Structure 1
Amino acid sequence: MTEPAAPTPATTPTQLIGPRDLHGARVLMSGGSRGIGHAIAVALAGRGAHIAMLAKTDTPHPKLAGTVHTAVADVEAAGGRGLAIVGDLREDADVLRAVDTTVSEFGGVDIVINNASAIDLSTTEALDMKRYDLMHDINVRGTFHLSKTAMPHLRQAAADGRHAQILTLSPPLTGADGRLDPQWFGRHLGYTMAKYGMSMTTAGLAQELAADGVDVNSLWPATLIDTAAIRAMPGGEEMIRSARTPGVVADAALALLSGAAGRRTGEFLTDEKVLAAAGVEDLSDYAVEHGRELIPDIFL
């Protein structure tokens, strides 16, 4: 299954260039072989960032395009420096090795991107406990452990004036009224718990690292995004006609990490909000199919 390319619209690059020069920025990302993570990695590489990817995809999947090695090749083709770290986010030794390797190869860690995530939208009775454990091990524990292990290096990067950041791809914890929305628990309790667990790391680490100058934020798409995970769902091929490409999230990440959307910490942001803050209001070029009514993403 081949995912569509996620180009950055030609009209927006100058608006996405913030005060932080990302050339040589040392990024450690979980996942990134395909989908949104891949698009973010390529977008940052286009500004000269160094991207280390911790991913399991050492060999091609029979149905899904991309491995960690092809992703690194794409990073380098875009103008960045890539580093493939084959490993499992669920394994403590692999996480420790990923951080140590990144520091050894790049000289430190400036940015951690918690991108890896497992999804299962089953109701409680239908959710197999192995799938429950998978989501919580990758989404919550993996995000917590990778961030925790990189923290000393992020503090050092901040002390060196390199604007250290953690960006986690997870949803806001509350709605516009400031309350938890029970509908998401009722629809898919196991997945909601796992994604909210990721978001809780943003809330907690933003507080823990505030005095050290490390910014911690979450980013979430405002609409459905065309990814292999969505295409694989029942009716997914039709759903993605009302989605945006991964490039909209990638450009939002670029704007946030470069400071084009202003400096922030402890915030739960949508791609639309970040791009608007960077001066990008027209998002029509990101639509998979122009003229279709877009489907809002879950948790919003």
Structure 2
Amino acid sequence: MTDTTTRVALITGATGGIGRAVTDRLVRDGFAVAVHYAGNKAKADETVEAIRAAGGKAIAVGGDVADEAAMAAAFDATEAEFGGIDVLVNTAGIMLLAPIATLNLDDLDRMHRTNIRGTFVVSQQAARRIRRGGAIINFSTSVTRLQFPTYGAYAASKGAVEAMTLVLAREMRGKDITVNAVAPGPTATPLFLEGKDEAALDNLAKAAPLERIGTPEDIAEAVAFLAGPARWINGQILFANGGIA
């Protein structure tokens, strides 16, 4: 078992673009990490092996974030391995885009199951289990402020994430646990880049005063801030987008 002075983080969606960057950043800060995956166990195992080879502490935990039994098991496994959990980072999510007029309602249900129910299920476990002095960090999106066409259903799901994050922060009164959400702007992940040509990416880059698209590492820095020194930031949505909104 890890020394109880080691801080422990469970990161959902930890093998994705932002999730992997967050995992690597928290490992550099000395965290032991539970690398969550939904379907790609091999990728999670590779991530764990890389962390351990570099001297870090990690395990892989799997399961559908919207399945309460699977998530209870993931939290159980993390606590059994490391003795407790200090930080939950909920990067898991899916994005399906279409105009509201034509969106397939099955896609709406899939996205809301993962993004809304999944965030709720994982936040519920975290609210019951995170140790004092810890942090719950959910993920929204800057699109809730940007009103990009085709993003209506996705933005709606993330608006729900923001609402539950702000309420949970108040419900955790007296437990010394912060609850915040990070809202990335356009970020160069495989999910975001898919289907966009160079002209579209150039236009998005120019929209921000810093005149570039964000990187997963940019978002990971915001998470590390909330997971570590930012003890007086609570019940907030932190927009990490280079000033685009």
TM norm structure 1: 0.70
Q: Which residue in 1 is equivalent to 2:16?
A: 34
Q: Which residue in 1 is equivalent to 2:47?
A: 71
- Secondary structure of 1:84's partner? strand
Tell me, in whole angstroms, the C-alpha distance in 2 between the residues paired with 1:231 and 1:184: 19
Alpha-carbon RMSD: 2.6
Tell me if 1:251 matches 2:221. yes
Tell me, in whole angstroms, the C-alpha distance in 1 between the residues paired with 2:239 and 2:53: 28
Matched-pair contact (CA < 8 Å) for 1:72–1:82: yes
Tell me, in whole angstroms, the C-alpha distance in 2 between the residues paired with 1:210 and 1:173: 29
1:90-141 deviation line (CA, Å, top 9, x unaligned)? 3222111111111111111111111101102211132122221121111111
Q: Residues 231, 258 of structure 1: CA spacing in aligned structure 2 closer, same or farther, 3 A cutoff?
A: same
Tell me, in whole angstroms, the C-alpha distance in 2 between the residues paired with 1:232 and 1:173: 17
- Secondary structure of 1:118's partner? coil
- Secondary structure of 1:197's partner? helix
Shift of 1:269: 1.0
Tell me, in whole angstroms, the C-alpha distance in 2 between the residues paired with 1:213 and 1:295: 31
Q: Residues 78, 237 of structure 1: CA spacing in aligned structure 2 closer, same or farther, 3 A cutoff?
A: farther
Amino acid at match of 1:131: D
Q: Residues 230, 73 of structure 1: CA spacing in aligned structure 2 closer, same or farther, 3 A cutoff?
A: same
Shift of 1:70: 2.0
Amino acid at match of 1:101: A
Amino acid at match of 1:215: T
TM norm structure 2: 0.84
Q: Residues 244, 79 of structure 1: CA spacing in aligned structure 2 closer, same or farther, 3 A cutoff?
A: farther
Q: Unpaired segments of 5 or more residues in structure 1?
A: 1-22, 61-66, 175-180, 273-293
Tell me, in whole angstroms, the C-alpha distance in 2 between the residues paired with 1:263 and 1:78: 32
Matched-pair contact (CA < 8 Å) for 2:141–2:155: no
Tell me if 1:228 matches 2:228. no
Tell me if 1:184 matches 2:147. yes
Q: Which residue in 2 is equivalent to 1:267?
A: 236
Shift of 1:256: 2.3
Tell me, in whole angstroms, the C-alpha distance in 2 between the residues paired with 1:295 and 1:150: 31
1:58-103 deviation line (CA, Å, top 9, x unaligned)? 356xxxxxx2122223333454311111222132221111111111
- Secondary structure of 2:188's partner? coil
Tell me if 1:132 matches 2:108. yes
1:148-227 paired onto structure 2 within 5 Å:
148-154=124-130, 157-158=131-132, 163-171=133-141, 184=147, 187-221=150-184, 223-227=185-189
Q: Which residue in 1 is equivalent to 2:64?
A: 88
1:138-166 deviation line (CA, Å, top 9, x unaligned)? 11111110110222222xx11xxxx1110
Q: Which residue in 2 is equivalent to 1:144?
A: 120
Tell me, in whole angstroms, the C-alpha distance in 1 between the residues paired with 2:111 and 2:178: 26
Q: Which residue in 2 is equivalent to 1:54?
A: 36
Tell me, in whole angstroms, the C-alpha distance in 1 between the residues paired with 2:73 and 2:170: 27
Percent identity between the aligned chains? 27
Amino acid at match of 1:132: L
Amino acid at match of 1:269: L
Matched-pair contact (CA < 8 Å) for 2:14–2:35: yes
Matched-pair contact (CA < 8 Å) for 1:173–1:199: no
- Secondary structure of 1:210's partner? coil
Q: Unpaired segments of 5 or more residues in structure 2?
A: 206-211
Q: Residues 237, 38 of structure 1: CA spacing in aligned structure 2 closer, same or farther, 3 A cutoff?
A: farther
Amino acid at match of 2:232: R
Tell me if 1:239 matches 2:201. yes
Tell me, in whole angstroms, the C-alpha distance in 1 between the residues paired with 2:80 and 2:122: 16
